[in-house]
Structure 1
Amino acid sequence: MKKADIVVLGAGLGGISMVFDLKAELGKKHRIVLVNKTTHFQFTPSNPWVGVGWRKEGDITVELAPLMARHGIDFIQATASRLHPEDNRVEMEDGTSVGYDYLVIATGPELAFDEVEGLGPHGHTQSICTLDHSIKANDAFEAFCADPGPIVVGAAQGASCYGPAYEYAMILDKELRSRRIRDKVPMTFVTAEPYIGHLGLGGVGDTKGMLEHEMRQRSVRWITNAKVEKVAPGAMTVSELNDDGSEKTRHQLDFKYSMMLPAFRGIAAVRDIEGLVNPRGFIIVDKHQRNPKYPNIFGIGVAIAIAPLEKTPVPTGVPKTGYMIESMVLATAKNIKALLEGREPKDEATWNAFCLADFGDRGVAFLAQPQNPPRNVNWAAEGMWVHLAKVAFEKYFLRKVRKGITETYYENAIMKMLTMHKLK
């Protein structure tokens, strides 16, 4: 068997799991290369906590170079500038290239702040999409607390990951109450979803009722079917649409602090490659996570193309939760192994959705099997246990990553939860 070079592009939740799963499946027979633009892995689900100072950078990061060296995986810190699929190589911004026999694209998205005037950290709103953004959001929050006023939190049109927006709104509420200044802070939640708790999934269980209840309890008003027109210093213009797409109301929302999640798109290095990506730049994959035109390229996680569940007045994307990503990773590792052994891929990911949404003092958990209705499991629950479960899960996941252990983290957690709630 010829020794193959397998390159994994991106070291987020999907990429870090991918290299460990490949190592477990392939051993020392083949070269595994991890390429990432930063020196570290970060546990992205903790970003809302970073945004209010509940976590620091060192709490949720792992340095990649020593970790990969310990496990016989090559690590290259570089930013991809262009993929050349006909040549089987990835070109980097510094002019170097990395060749591959098989490529797994696990980059996550590019953040499309530019699609709304004034949106994002280079505009007038904060973000918790990356660690750097979350640190900046916390700095701005500390300054805000010295002179509080209105807050606007939410997700702009085209966003596809709504859980962190809900988390951050509720965590802000908890932190402001702890500082005894919540009474000075009117808060508005702005979302492209057609209703609270839609989540890009058509709702899961009674997420609509649960999340509306949480917002009422915390005095958070909301605007759904919301299209952010533009953001100026201290002011956001939002069009609230009717179900037929016509404008219902135009809101001028004043704020002293705002965090808005943007729409996602594929990274620039792969955009506009015919047959590889859809019009938004997301990787087209078949049921084996494999690109039909370039069969030695696989895609996992937020980087892949998944069609929206339904047409909504304001565009909403589809979330790719950790549970789903983990399933994609395992299937991809087994399918690459099959190809290297001269067999056809047969493993398929189970596209289920699972989320622990922490609200600082309680939270909401939901499980959709499969992701799109009708479902075999369509369940949501709330309580203090969700907050405790997410804290425990963060510590568990990071401990396993630091040891380089490949494991079905989310699957194990879900099975325990289903047993606990007698849903199995």
Structure 2
Amino acid sequence: MAHIVVMGAGLGGMPAAYDLKSHLGKKHDITLINPSEDFQFTPSNPWVVVGWRKPSEVLVPIRKYVERRGIKFIAQSVSAIDAKGNKLTLDDGATIDYDYLIIATGPKLAFDEIPGTGPSANTHSVCSTPHSQAAAQAYEKFLENPGPIVIGAAQGASCFGPAYEFAMIVEADLRKRKIRDQVPMTFVTSEPYIGHMGLGGVGDSKSLLESEMRQRHIKWVTNAKILEATDSTVKIAEHNDAGEVIKEQELESKFSLFIPAFKGVDAVANVEGLCNPRGFVLIDDHQRNPTYPNIYSAGVCVAIPPVEATPVPTGAPKTGYMIESMVTAIVENIAEELEGKEPSHKATWNALCLADLGDDGVAFVALPQIPPRNVTWAKKGKWVHLAKIAFEKYFMRKMRTGRTEPIYEKYVLKAMGIIRLKPGK
């Protein structure tokens, strides 16, 4: 009997635990470890900030749902990994032995790399539900005395979709409240152009998102580095295509929110031979670490090189559909290893993003994510907004009842008809 430990209970970790138990049954033990008691559906966090969702509506209590399926759950952080000894140390000093380890921790948020940024300083975040809850309180206070807003993605960021979503959602919310005319909005991003998304663009994403920004009277600054944030300003440096600073400016802001750069969490980053310099887990084609082949990894914590070099550093996103394909490959590969076979499954690494724009939305599909692609597709419409709401409910239900099938493959792609698309159509 093997003991398989999953670190992290997010979009990758919790489905991985469900799939392992479903696939392996009672023959092997599964333990899920997560710092908090709740699964967070992070794609809904922008809605939490503007009050369209309560925090409780985007959280699922983990313990009662996984334990009823025979999965052990530990609500603690891992303080250290002994990769050679196949052992984890928890915050309370207890140790856990494993035969296989799946690292799905998500990232450490690198707010410390830019002075004044982060929820403990002068800017807000939608990277976790507690961050979004704190931002919601600040947003309520902002509404009492509205003024300029600055939203965007910092240098080194690799998750641009939530920044665009949040900007558009706030703009729509302000219109509903009849105070949009009191709030100048600026979008600041490290991308070389609007709609780059860390993917080199998807379909006509550049003109599509630029059109949305113009229609909504949102100004933008690209090729930008955030230098510092105070409680009333954001200092930025704009660069040319050669990466040279061409302009520095200080933007007035009464409410600022940025997607930060990511790093690996400390316990993972500290293991010699496991990670790249940023602390992301190195993997082979089968999601295994080359140095420690009984360690697998999926999600944002995986090392993926940028799609292309940009004047200001940008990273490659790890979307939900990509993460799902990583999890599926890992489960199949561990099952093969337990049968004495060599792992043979590879993740597809396709990108799918349903970006809610408040009262409509944009769907982006890149198959595969890294160019050249078989399918590159972007469409706008209110149906995307409605599809994201429906998908939220479906995903949350699956986290309560157990994921036994690929959620994105079954629900989103089939609903959108993307599977039937041919290249160029």
Bin for the TM-score computed over the shorter chain? over 0.9
2:169 is aligned to 171
Q: Does 1:50 align with 2:45?
A: no
Match of 1:189 in 2: 187
Q: How does 1:141-152 map to 2 (within 5 A)?
A: 141-152=139-150
Greater shift, 54-63 or 219-228, is seen at 54-63
Residues 311 and 405 (structure 1 numbering): CA distance in 2 closer, same or farther, change over 3 Å?
closer
1:251 Cα deviation after fit: 1.4
CA contact (8 A) 2:155 2:261 kept: yes
Alignment match of 2:239 (pick from 228, 238, 241):
241
Query: What is aligned with 2:283?
Result: 285
Contact 1:158 1:263 in 2 (8 A): yes
**2:67 equivalent in structure 1:** 69
Q: SS state of the match for residue 268, structure 2?
A: coil
CA contact under 8 A between 1:328 and 1:348: conserved in structure 2?
yes
Q: CA offsets per residue over residues 53-82 of structure 1, 9 Å max, x none?
A: 111122111111111111000000101111
1:112-151 to structure 2, matched below 5 A, reads: 112-151=110-149
Structure 1 residue 413 displacement after superposition: 2.8
Q: Does the CA contact (< 8 Å) of 1:272 and 1:279 recur in 2? A: no
Q: What SS does the corresponding residue of 1:244 show, helix, strand or coil?
A: coil
2:385 corresponding residue in structure 1: 387
The residue aligned with 2:224 is 226
Residue equivalent to 1:26: 24
3-state secondary structure, aligned to 2:150: strand
Over 4 Å off, 4+ runs: none
Could you say which residue in structure 1 is the equivalent of 2:202?
A: 204
1:112-160 per-position Cα deviation (integer Å, ceiling 9, x unaligned): 0000000011110000000000000110000000000000000000000
Q: 2:242 touches 2:311 (CA, 8 Å); kept in 1?
A: yes
User: How far does the alpha carbon of each residue in 1:313-368 deviate from its partner, in whole angstroms, 9 at most, with x for none?
Assistant: 11001100000000000000010011111100000000110000001100110100
2:151 aligns with: 153
Matches of 2:6 and 2:247, distance apart in 1: 46
Among 89, 93, 96, the alignment partner of 2:94 is 96
The answer to whether residue 175 in structure 2 is matched with residue 215 in structure 1 is no
TM-score (norm 1): 0.98
Q: How far apart, in 2, do the equivalents of 1:359 and 1:67 lie?
A: 32
Amino acid paired to 1:162: F
User: How many residue pairs get matched?
Assistant: 422
**Corresponding residue number in structure 2 for 1:7:** 5
- State the AA in 2 paired with 1:383: G
Aligned 8 A contact 1:126 1:259 in 2: yes
Q: Specify the alignment match of 2:413 in structure 1.
A: 415
Identity %, equivalent residues: 58
Over residues 374-419 of structure 1, what are the superposed CA-to-partner deviations in whole Å (9 max), with x where a residue is unaligned? Answer: 1110000001000000000000111121111322110123432452
* 1:10 and 1:34 in contact (8 A); partners too: yes
Structure 1: any 5+ residue segments left out of the alignment? none
CA distance in 1, matches of 2:250, 2:405: 48
Q: Is the 8 A contact 2:15 2:402 kept in 1?
A: no
| Alignment partners' CA distance in 2, 1:354 and 1:317 | 16
SS at match of 2:266: coil
Amino acid paired to 1:384:
K
In structure 1, what is the equivalent of residue 311 of structure 2? 313
CA distance in 2, matches of 1:309, 1:72: 40
In structure 1, which of residues 397, 401, 404 is the aligned counterpart of residue 402 of structure 2? Answer: 404
Structure 2 equivalent of residue 376 of structure 1? 374
- The answer to whether the 8 Å contact 1:235/1:252 transfers is yes
Consecutive unaligned residues in structure 2, runs of 5 or more: none
Closer, same or farther: CA 218–266 of 1 in aligned 2, 3 Å? same
Give SS of 1:270's match: helix
CA contact under 8 A between 1:155 and 1:192: conserved in structure 2?
Answer: yes
Distance 2:388 2:318 in 1: 18
Distance 2:420 2:282 in 1: 37
How far 1:198 moved relative to its partner? 0.2
| Distance in structure 2 (CA, Å) of the matches to 1:405 and 1:221 | 41
- The normalised TM-score by structure 2 is 0.98
AA at the equivalent of 1:35 = I
Displacement of 1:99 after TM fit?
1.1
The AA in structure 2 aligned to 1:57 is: P
2:391–2:412 Cα contact (<8 Å) kept: no
Whichever residue aligns with residue 361 of structure 2, its letter is: G
Return the match for 1:336 from 319, 334, 337.
334
RMSD: 1.1
SS of residue in 1 equivalent to 2:12: helix
Query: Which residue of the partner structure matches residue 254 of structure 1?
Result: 252
Task: Report the equivalent of 1:302.
Answer: 300
